Amino acid sequence: MENLQNIRIAVDAIVFGYKNNDLYVLLIEQQFGTSEKYWALPGGLVQNSESLSDAVIRELHEETNVQLTFMEQLYTFGDDIHRDSRNRVISVAYYALVDASNLEIKADTDAERVQWFKIDEIPSLAFDHNSILQKAISRLKSKLTYEPIGFDLLPEEFLFSDLENLYCTILEKEIDRRNFRKKILSYGILEETEKFSPIKTGRPAKLFKFNKLKYNELIEKGFHFEIKFA
């Protein structure tokens, strides 16, 4: 029996940013056909000549002016054959982490606006994008405890308290800051710089850097990163 398919492949990007002790996600505003305008995740159809990851990178650059440092495939969404009323579309979602404090976002192509939204202030999104976002948040929380991806959300040089606050914010839990500091420093993947925080309040605090090269060397030797909360 002849099998005629009319299915399109798309990519969607969940870009997380962290600033002022809050977790954000990057959204674009579009108008879909004759429908009203909606906020949505950046993304679009995959071109015949490109890979899925190349499509994500292209769409993000075209729609938001964002270039990525960390990106990972999340999930494929397509069980609901009516997830897009215009066509049968299967979407491969990726989540990404960026330093939002040093990023210039700009709407382009078919995006009318681009904006950071706090995770607890997300509007009703187009298609099934709210569900996609929730799955990405769940993945982020889980992976944060067994891989040091949180450093991709921070500037290259940061206060140790910034790292502590990031974990508390994303995991929505309080931590024993003394034990957290002791454990992170025991891994040997942080470098204390000779620079101090520009904020002149109280005792001057030094800035730290994540040593990715040292981390990769440890991984090759069987090192296991783990952060547990009571």
Q: Which residues, in sequence order, are CB contacts of 72 under 8 Å at separation 6+?
A: 94, 95, 96
Continuous segment of H or E residues that includes residue 54: helix 52-64
Q: Are 52 and 74 in contact (CB under 8 A)?
A: no
Same domain, 121 and 213: no
Q: Is 172 left (phi over 0), alpha (psi -120 to 50) or beta?
A: left
CA distance 168 to 177: 10
Domain boundary among the residues 144, 161, 179 is at 144
Same domain, 27 and 139: yes
Same domain, 185 and 133: no
Same domain, 137 and 164: no
Domain boundary among the residues 128, 144, 160 is at 144
Same domain, 107 and 65: yes
Exposure string over 169-181, b if 16+ CB within 10 A, otherwise e? bbbeeebeeeebb
Neighbours of 141 (CB within 10 A): 14
Neighbours of 6 (CB within 10 A): 6
Instruction: At 189, list the tokens.
Output: 């993947």
Residue 225: inside a domain, yes or no? no
Residue 34 has pLDDT above 60, yes or no: no
Residue 160 has pLDDT above 70, yes or no: yes
Q: How confident is the model at residue 32 (pLDDT cuts 50, 70, 90)?
A: low
Q: Is the Cα dihedral 109, 18, 14, 217 positive or negative?
A: positive
**Beta bridge partners of residue 210, listed in sequence order:** 190
Same domain, 59 and 163: no
CA distance 107 to 30: 10
* Domain count for the chain: 2
Three-state SS at 65: coil
Report the chain's mean pLDDT, rounded to a whole number: 91
Residue 95: inside a domain, yes or no? yes
Same domain, 101 and 116: yes
Residue 226: inside a domain, yes or no? no
Residue 38: inside a domain, yes or no? yes
CATH number of the domain residue 86 falls in: 3.90.79.10
Same domain, 119 and 173: no
Residue 202 has pLDDT above 80, yes or no: no
- Token look-up 């977790």 returns 23
* Average pLDDT over every residue of 1-27: 91
Same domain, 137 and 157: no
* Average pLDDT over every residue of 116-128: 95
CA distance 213 to 1: 55
**Beta bridge partners of residue 14, listed in sequence order:** 95
Residue 229: inside a domain, yes or no? no
Strands across the sheet containing 190-196: 157-159, 206-210, 190-196
Name which of 13, 40, 29, 35 is nearest 112 in CA terms.
29
* Average pLDDT over every residue of 92-105: 93
Instruction: At 76, list the tokens.
Output: 């494929």
Residue 80's domain spans which residues? 7-144
CA distance 223 to 125: 40
Domain boundary among the residues 91, 122, 144 is at 144
Residue 67: inside a domain, yes or no? yes
* Average pLDDT over every residue of 143-164: 95
Same domain, 33 and 136: yes
CATH number of the domain residue 203 falls in: 1.10.10.10
Same domain, 107 and 52: yes
Same domain, 68 and 167: no
Residue 96: inside a domain, yes or no? yes
Residues 182-198 have pLDDT tens digits of 999 999 999 999 998 87
Per-residue confidence (pLDDT) for residue 6, from 0 to 100: 85
Q: Distances from the Cα of 110 to the Cαs of 9, 39, 66, 91, 159, in angstroms?
A: 18, 12, 15, 18, 38
Per-residue confidence (pLDDT) for residue 4, from 0 to 100: 77
Per-residue confidence (pLDDT) for residue 2, from 0 to 100: 67
Residue 177: inside a domain, yes or no? yes
